[in-house]
Amino acid sequence: MSWITPEYLSQSRDYAPTVAIIFVCVFTTLVVLVRCYARIFSTKRFGLDDVLAVSSNVLYIAFVFLCVILIKEGSGRHIEYIQYVLTPDQVNLTEINDFAAHIIYTTALFVCRMSGLSFYHHLCDRHQRLLTVIKCAAVFLICAYLPQLFLLIFHCLPVTGLWPYAWQAESADFTCITWGAVYSVNSGLSLVCDVILFAIPVTMIRLLQVSLSRKIKLSFVLLPGVAVIIISIVRLYLVIVGQWADDGSWPYGPMLAIESAEIGGTLIALSVPALKPLFGSIFAKFTGTFHGSVKQSGTFNSTSRRTDGLPSSGNGRSFGSRGNIYENYGDLPAGWRGDTLQHERKTTDSSTDTRVGSGVGERVGFKKMDSNEDLLEDRELSHQGSASDFRVQVQKEFKFESNAIPLRPL
């Protein structure tokens, strides 16, 4: 025991985890606040997913508060510091705070994941197979949360908030599962939940009828959850180290920072798509998509169209000379989903019949605009012939199929 010197006992790395925990919490809270602003003032829709996200953020703040207290109490110092420097009452207090913090942590993650499922449900509520997957995922998350919660509550019998070390007098009064066993099981379940949650947008992107390059771009918005999975793996590693290492308390501070990052990362990953109404033009550059002026009740593939599969002429006006109309084309690929398309029609004679298939020359300009009416992309097709021929021509130009996955606006 001669190696336990005052210098050794005074060693601390509390500062870095504390700063990291607070920084991630503040940044996450700002993202959630911006999300709420976007939903309330831009899309005029504050749904169940937003309510759950806000609830999760409140729990997250409570967890961060307890994390800072635990670090200040010395929970992240050397195990000898906890055993020989802290008083028995102080050790008991750290154990109770750890118990409360991880019940909040587990609940915050569960609520956050349910928020994500609610968002995915809204996004693809007309695709039955995806809805079935989302419902099954919800059942799994609930079934995973309950044993996580019960393992924490009933880690000792009789039930207590303490988690006594072998050298504590209280250890004789309780029969307990080891800290590492409980946290390893919970961390493993948490990792599986993260994989299931963020596998759903992978499936959604795979089903979209768009080019590979656009799928890759879209993944930058919908798939930041990959980082959360990596964080979850790191947490599992730190839990294992903390239980079976000789100095088990030394990794505790970094583990709290990783747990904070896991909640914050999940909230941010699930909030990024909701920011699109505020940063539409930026999103369009990364994803090749823009949600545009979609009706409140519309979907990404919603439309008012003619029975021949082409856009209706809207107001019924004829265009003997050059003119512009705005209308939705419902079967465009996800890159153009729900956007307002500008059609430029120009006749070659004095005929007032400008219907497709009438034999009148026609140029149709497909334009994608951002929220500032700046042009992001345009394409122009020239046509003379039947409506079915034009439909095939449009499908070839945009490389899509008419049964593309129906999605709602973000």
What are 383's strand-pairing partners? 362
Q: Given this model, what pLDDT does residue 276 score?
A: 74
Please state, in angstroms and rounded to a whole number, the distance separating the CA atoms of residues 271 and 265. 10
Cis peptide before 158 (omega within 30 of 0): yes
- DSSP-based three-state secondary structure for 59: helix
Q: Given this model, what pLDDT does residue 212 score?
A: 78
User: H-helix or E-strand containing 129?
Assistant: helix 128-153
CATH second-level architecture of 6-278? Up-down Bundle (1.20)
Please state, in angstroms and rounded to a whole number, the distance separating the CA atoms of residues 131 and 207. 13
Residue 198 phi, psi dihedral angles, 5° rounding: -90, 0
Distances (CA, A) of 208 to 111, 201, 254: 28, 11, 40
Nearest CA-CA partner of 179 in 268, 75, 294 = 75
Q: Given this model, what pLDDT does residue 393 score?
A: 65
What are the pLDDT tens digits along the chain (410 aa)?
Answer: 667 888 899 999 999 999 999 999 999 999 999 999 998 988 888 889 999 999 999 999 999 999 999 999 999 999 999 999 999 999 999 999 999 999 999 999 999 999 999 999 888 877 788 889 999 999 999 999 999 999 999 999 999 999 999 899 999 999 999 888 999 999 999 999 999 998 988 888 887 777 777 777 777 766 678 889 999 999 999 888 877 788 889 999 999 999 999 999 999 999 988 887 776 544 555 444 433 333 333 333 333 333 333 333 333 333 333 333 223 344 444 444 434 333 444 444 433 333 333 444 455 655 555 444 455 565 666 665 555 565 666 666 665 444 444 445 45
- Whether this prediction's pTM lies above 0.75 is answered by no
Dmax of the chain from CA atoms?
Answer: 104
Polymer length of the chain: 410
- Cβ(407)–Cβ(204) under 8 Å? yes
Q: Given this model, what pLDDT does residue 202 score?
A: 84
Residue with tokens 């879209």: 218
Q: Given this model, what pLDDT does residue 233 score?
A: 94
Q: Given this model, what pLDDT does residue 351 score?
A: 37
Q: Where are the domains of the chain?
A: 6-278, 291-410
* pLDDT, tens digit, 9 for 90 and up, residues 160-210: 999 999 899 999 999 999 888 999 999 999 999 999 998 988 888 887 777
Query: What is the separation, in whole angstroms, between the first and last Cα of the chain?
Result: 61
Please state, in angstroms and rounded to a whole number, the distance separating the CA atoms of residues 248 and 77. 9
Residue 208 phi, psi dihedral angles, 5° rounding: -65, 135
DSSP secondary structure letter of residue 375? E
